[in-house]
Amino acid sequence: MRRLLLLAAVLLSACTAPDGPPVESALISTMGFAWEDEEGVSKGFDLDGQVTLEDGPTGCGIADFVHPDGTPGIDNSFAPILPALENVGGDALDPLVQESINAGELLLLIEMEELDDVTTDDCVNLHVQRAIGPPAIGTDGLILPGQTFEQDLDAPDSIVECATLTDGVLFAQPFNMRLPLNIFDEFVDFEMLDGILDMEFNDDGTYTGAFAGGVSTAELIDNVNGLDAIPEAIPELIETVMDVRADLAPTAGGNCSRISIAFQFEGVSAYVFPEEDE
Amino acid sequence: MNQRFLGLLGLGALFVAVSCRPPAPEIEPGEPTLRRLTEAQYVNSAHDLLGEDVFVPTGMEPDTRITGLLALGAGQTALSPRGVENFEAAAYALAEQAMEPGRAEALLPCSPSGTVDAACAEQFIEEFGRRAWRRPLTADEVGPLVDVATNAADVLESFEDGLEFAIASLLMAPHFLYRTELGEADPEGRWDRRFSGYEVASRLSFTLWNTTPDDELLDAAEAGDLDDDALLLAQVERLMADPRARAGLSAWISDMLHLADLDDLEKDPSTFVYVTDTLGQAARTETLMGFEALAFDDEGDLRELATSRRTFVDRELAALYDLSAPAREGFGEYVHPDESLRIGLLGQASFLALNSHPVSTSPTLRGKFLQEVLLCRTLPGPPADVDTSIPEPTEDAPTLRDRVLRHLEDPACAGCHEVMDPMGLGLENFDGIGRFRTHDEGALIDASGDLDGVDFDGPLSLAQAIHDNDDFAPCLVKTFVRYSGGRREVFGELEGLDWLSGEFAFRKHRLGPLVENLTLSPLFRQAGALDVDTEPDEGEAE
C-alpha cells in the first residue's frame, strides 16, 4: 500500500520539463564518509570486481572490507585513515561536511530522468550536479524537503545513462564525479573515477544511499599540498598514507594510482529551476 | 449583416436586462459610528500627507477585532491614556520629519518671507489641514493653528520649526485620528440624513484605498459632485482603476480573514520543521496576491476564492507545499494540478495555520472559522467550565477525527461541534501549518463529511460546497458592507443587503460591480439618526 502511495506521490510530483521527459530530483541533505564500522566492516562497493585479501595479489594487497550486509570485496581504503585525519586536524570530519551542505557550499542534486516506477525501472538516466544555495533549514537543523534549487552550471556534473532501479534501489555505474569537500576549513577537490552510486527510495519520500570511487593519489596529494590553512601535519600524513593505502588502478610497475573512498548519504525530494534562456 | 444585427440585439437585451434590475430599496440606516483610524490607515494617511519616505511610528494603540473585523473594533473601542500619549509623540515625530530640509520645500505651498510669515503659515494650514482632516478647516480652526505656528516660529527663530507645532496639532487632533462621518440633514430631501460630500469622499477613500482622500476626491466633494450619481460613479471608477485600490481592497480581505494575526503565528518548532519567522508573512502575501489576481486581473467570481487552483508562492511556500517554485525571486504564479487536493483559500497556509493549534491541527477552529467568516453564521463560544481538551491518540482512536468524536458524544458540546468539526475534519489532509499529509498518527485520514446536507469527501469537494453554498456570496457582501460602514447592519438595512447580494449574484459575483452597487446605494450614502437604537435581535441581523 505504501509503495502504491509513494508511486502515486512520485507520479504526481514529477515535474515535466518543457518538451522534456518527466524528472524526479533528490537533494543530498546529509552526507559523510563511510567509516569502518567495526574491524574489517564498512559500507561501500566492490569497485574493482575483486575480493582482495591483505598482501594478496590484487588491489595492491590492501585488504577489502566486508559490507555490513555480508558482501565481501568492499573497496574503501580511505576509511582507516579517517580517525588519523581527525586526530591530526583536531576536528570531526563529518560535521564539517554537513556544515558545508547546510551552508549551501556542497549541494548535490540527483536528477532522475525517465523514471516510470519507483520500484523497478530498467533504464533511468541519472544526472548528478551541483546546486546553488543557501538552502532553507528546518527547525530540526536539516535541509527541508521540497525546495527548488538553481543548477550550478559552472560546476562539473556527472551523467549516468541507463541506471537500473530494482526493488526500490537505484544502481548507477560507472559513476564519475568531482566534489569539493571541506576539510578543516579548506576545500579539497575529490575527483572520483569509475565509481558506483546506489540510492534507495524510502517510504517516507526520502532517499538513502552511498557512492564511492577511486581518487588519484597524485592529484589528491597535489591538492592537499596546495592548501594553506590546514594543519601542517595533514599534507605529510596524506602523502605517507597514499603510498600504503592506494588500492585501485594498478600501474605497470605494480603500484596502485588511486585510493578508494566511499560516502554515505541521505536525500530529500527537491525541484530544479529550468535553465534560463540566454 | 446578420451578425451585426444579432450583436445589436444582444446589446439591446443586455441593456434591457441591466436597466430592468430592481432599484436599491429604501432603508433605515443604523446610527453612524465614529471610527479611529486603524494602524494601517494611520500609516497610509501619514505617507500620503508627508511622503512615502517618512518613518511612521506604529503600535500606538492596538487594533481590536469586534464581530470578526478590526474595522468594527475601530468604531467601538476607546483610546487608552497610553495610546493618547503615543499618538501625541507620533504626531511630533511626523511633524519634525515634515519640516526637514528637502521635504519642507515640497510640502509648503509658499516661500516664507521671514521667520514669521502668518500668511504663508495660514495657506499651508488650510491646504494641509484639508487633506489631513479630510474636510476644509473653519476659520475658527485655522486661526489658533496659525497663532501656534507664528508664536513658535518667533520663539524658535525658524518658520519651519514653528510650523512643526501646527502640523503636530493637526495630526494629534481627533479630526485626523477619527473618521467623523456622522452625516447631515439631507438638503435635497432624498433621505432624512445623508453623509456629506466630504464624508462620502472619506468613506470612499478608506473603503477602496484604505487611506485618506486625495485632492481630486476632496475637490469633487467641494464641488458637490459626490451627491450626483453619475459623478460619484466616475469617482468610484477612478479610484478602482488606481493601483491603490488593490492594496486598499486587499485590506478588506485581510481584515475578514484575520491575516494580521499571521504576524504572531505561534507554532511548535519541534512539531513543524517548516516553521520560520517569515512563514506568516509569506502566507499572507499568497492569499492577498490571489485575491488581487482574481478580483482585479481576472475580474472574476469572488466565490472562486474558495476554489481557485491558481495561487502565488515564493520558494518558502513552494517547499512547504512540495511544489516546484515558479519564481527564483519573490512570488510567482502557480496553478495546482487537477490531482492536487490543495485548492483555494482552504488549501493556503494562511487559513490553515491560523486556524490550528500550536502543536496540531484543529478541526474545531477551522470549522468555526468557515462557519463564521465565510458563511456569516453565529456560533456561541464554549461554556466557561467546559473541558475542551482532546484525548491523546490511542491505538483504537489514533486520528483527530476519532478523538474529536468526544465532542459529538457529549450533548453539551454536540450542538456547536456538529456544525464546526465536520467541516474542519474535511481539511485534515493539511497539518497545522498547511503541509499536505495522507496519514494522522499512522492512520489514513478520512476527510469526508457534509455541509448543510451536501456531502464532501475531502478538501476539493468541501471547497466546492462552500463555493456553492447559498450563504457564501451574501456573507462576502455582508462583510464588505460592515467593513465599509464600520458597524454591524441593523434591521432596517437587511432588505438593502439582500438587494446588494442579489445584484452581486446578477453581476457574476465580481468585485467591481459590488463596489459600484454599494457605493451608489443608500447603504453607503444615507446616514442614520445619531440617537436611534435600531440594533436588531441577534437572529434577525444574522
Cβ proximity of B190 and B184 under 8 Å: no
Residue B288 CB neighbours (<10 A): 21
Helix (H) or strand (E) holding B340: none
Q: What's the mean pLDDT in A44-70?
A: 90
More confident residue, B253 or A252: B253
Q: What's the mean pLDDT in B50-55?
A: 96
Query: Would you say the C-alpha torsion B375, B538, B486, B491 has a positive or negative sign?
Result: positive
Give the C-alpha separation, B399 to B431, whole Å.
12
pLDDT at residue A184 greater than cutoff 90: no
pLDDT at residue B130 greater than cutoff 90: yes
Residue in the block written with cell 569537500 = A181
Helices marked H in B432-525: 459-468, 472-485, 494-506, 511-520, 522-525
Tens digits of residue pLDDT in A212-231: 999 999 888 888 888 777 77
Asked if B79 has any chain A CB less than 8 Å from its own CB, the reply is no
Asked if B315 has any chain A CB less than 8 Å from its own CB, the reply is yes
Give the C-alpha separation, A21 to B299, whole Å.
36
The residues with which B333 forms a beta bridge, in sequence order, are B312
Tell me the backbone φ, ψ of residue A223, rounded to 5 degrees: -60, -45
Tens digits of residue pLDDT in B328-375: 999 999 999 999 999 999 999 999 999 999 999 999 999 999 999 999
pLDDT at residue number A21: 47
Cβ proximity of A156 and A178 under 8 Å: yes
Asked whether the beta carbons of residue B325 and residue A136 sit closer than 8 angstroms, the reply is no
Largest CA distance in chain B: 86
Name the closest residue on chain B to residue A15, using Cα atoms: B324
Helix (H) or strand (E) holding A273: none
pLDDT at residue number A68: 94
* CA A40 to the chain's CA centroid: 21
Q: Which amino acid is at B454?
A: V
Name the closest residue on chain A to residue B271, using Cα atoms: A139
Among A144, A135, A140, A129, residue whose Cα is nearest residue A103? A135
Q: What is the mean pLDDT of chain A?
A: 85
Name the closest residue on chain B to residue A275, using Cα atoms: B328
Tens digits of residue pLDDT in B493-531: 999 999 999 999 999 999 999 999 999 999 999 999 986
Tens digits of residue pLDDT in A102-146: 999 899 999 998 888 888 888 999 999 999 978 999 999 999 999
pLDDT at residue B398 greater than cutoff 90: no
Geometric angle at alpha carbon A167, from A161 and A173, rounded to 5°? 30
Tens digits of residue pLDDT in A161-173: 999 999 999 999 9
pLDDT at residue number B105: 93
Residues of B in contact with A18 (CB under 8 A): none
Partner residue facing A12 (CB), from B275, B328, B339: B339
Asked if B433 has any chain A CB less than 8 Å from its own CB, the reply is no
What percent of chain A lies above the pLDDT cut of 70?
Answer: 89
pLDDT at residue number B257: 98
pLDDT at residue A8 greater than cutoff 70: no
Helices marked H in B109-138: 118-133
Partner residue facing B319 (CB), from A5, A13, A144: A144
Asked if A20 has any chain B CB less than 8 Å from its own CB, the reply is no
Tens digits of residue pLDDT in B456-477: 999 999 999 999 999 999 999 9
Asked if B384 has any chain A CB less than 8 Å from its own CB, the reply is no
More confident residue, A96 or B256: B256
Residues of B in contact with A145 (CB under 8 A): 319, 322
Residues of B in contact with A136 (CB under 8 A): 276, 315-316, 319
Among B249, B178, B185, residue whose Cα is nearest residue B518? B249
More confident residue, B7 or B266: B266
Partner residue facing B319 (CB), from A5, A139, A147: A147
Say if strands B449-451 and B35-36 run parallel, antiparallel, or are unpaired: unpaired
In angstroms and rounded to an integer, the radius of gyration of the C-alpha atoms of chain B is 26
Geometric angle at alpha carbon B65, from B61 and B67, rounded to 5°? 150
Asked if B266 has any chain A CB less than 8 Å from its own CB, the reply is no
Asked if B19 has any chain A CB less than 8 Å from its own CB, the reply is no
> If you count residue pairs, one on A and one on B, with CB atoms under 8 Å apart, how many are there?
51
Asked if A206 has any chain B CB less than 8 Å from its own CB, the reply is no
pLDDT at residue B186 greater than cutoff 50: yes
Asked if A4 has any chain B CB less than 8 Å from its own CB, the reply is no
Distance from CA of A231 to the nearest CA of B (A): 37
Geometric angle at alpha carbon B119, from B118 and B121, rounded to 5°? 65
Among B509, B418, B427, residue whose Cα is nearest residue B461? B427
Asked whether the beta carbons of residue B274 and residue A138 sit closer than 8 angstroms, the reply is yes
* Disruptive mutation site among A111, A140, A144, A153 for chain B (greatest number of B CBs within 10 Å): A144
Say if strands A169-183 and B454-456 run parallel, antiparallel, or are unpaired: unpaired
Give the C-alpha separation, B66 to B75, whole Å.
9
Residue B278's alpha-carbon distances to A42, B37, B109, B346, B436, in angstroms, are: 43, 27, 43, 20, 19
Residue A12 CB neighbours (<10 A): 11
Give the C-alpha separation, B449 to B424, whole Å.
9
Asked if A271 has any chain B CB less than 8 Å from its own CB, the reply is yes
Give the C-alpha separation, B255 to B251, whole Å.
6
Residues of B in contact with A133 (CB under 8 A): none
Q: What's the mean pLDDT in B16-43?
A: 88
pLDDT at residue A22 greater than cutoff 80: no
Give the C-alpha separation, B149 to B208, whole Å.
34
In angstroms and rounded to an integer, the radius of gyration of the C-alpha atoms of chain A is 19
Give the C-alpha separation, B304 to B337, whole Å.
16
pLDDT at residue A244 greater than cutoff 80: yes
Say if strands A107-113 and B184-185 run parallel, antiparallel, or are unpaired: unpaired
Residues of A in contact with B325 (CB under 8 A): 147-148, 271, 273
Say if strands A256-272 and A147-151 run parallel, antiparallel, or are unpaired: parallel
Distance from CA of B316 to the nearest CA of A (A): 8
Residues of B in contact with A272 (CB under 8 A): 324
Among A211, A189, A237, residue whose Cα is nearest residue A75? A211
DSSP annotation string for A176-219: EEEEEEEETTEEEEEEEEEEEEEEEE-TTS-EEEEEEEEEEHHH
Asked if B430 has any chain A CB less than 8 Å from its own CB, the reply is no
Band (pLDDT 50/70/90 cuts) for residue B8 is: low
Tens digits of residue pLDDT in B277-291: 999 999 999 999 999
Asked if B111 has any chain A CB less than 8 Å from its own CB, the reply is no
Name the closest residue on chain B to residue A147, using Cα atoms: B319
Tens digits of residue pLDDT in B238-273: 999 999 999 999 999 999 999 999 999 999 999 999
ipTM metric: 0.82
* Disruptive mutation site among B313, B322, B437, B439 for chain A (greatest number of A CBs within 10 Å): B322
Return residues 436-455 of B near A (CB < 8 Å): 438
Among A258, A237, A238, A239, residue whose Cα is nearest residue A247? A258
For residue B423, give the C-alpha cell.
467541516
pLDDT at residue number B412: 73
Band (pLDDT 50/70/90 cuts) for residue A2 is: very low
Residues of B in contact with A147 (CB under 8 A): 315, 318-319, 325
Partner residue facing A146 (CB), from B272, B276, B322: B322
Helix (H) or strand (E) holding B144: helix B139-156
pLDDT at residue number B269: 95
Asked whether the beta carbons of residue A139 and residue B270 sit closer than 8 angstroms, the reply is yes
Asked whether the beta carbons of residue A148 and residue B274 sit closer than 8 angstroms, the reply is no
pLDDT at residue B389 greater than cutoff 90: no
Asked if A139 has any chain B CB less than 8 Å from its own CB, the reply is yes
Tell me the backbone φ, ψ of residue B419, rounded to 5 degrees: -85, -40
Band (pLDDT 50/70/90 cuts) for residue B308 is: very high
Give the C-alpha separation, A149 to A43, whole Å.
29
Q: What is the mean pLDDT of chain B?
A: 92
Q: What's the mean pLDDT in B231-235?
A: 98
pLDDT at residue number B17: 52
* CA B296 to the chain's CA centroid: 16
Calculate helix-pair angle for B197-208, B215-222, nearest 10 degrees. 150
Residues of B in contact with A273 (CB under 8 A): 325, 328
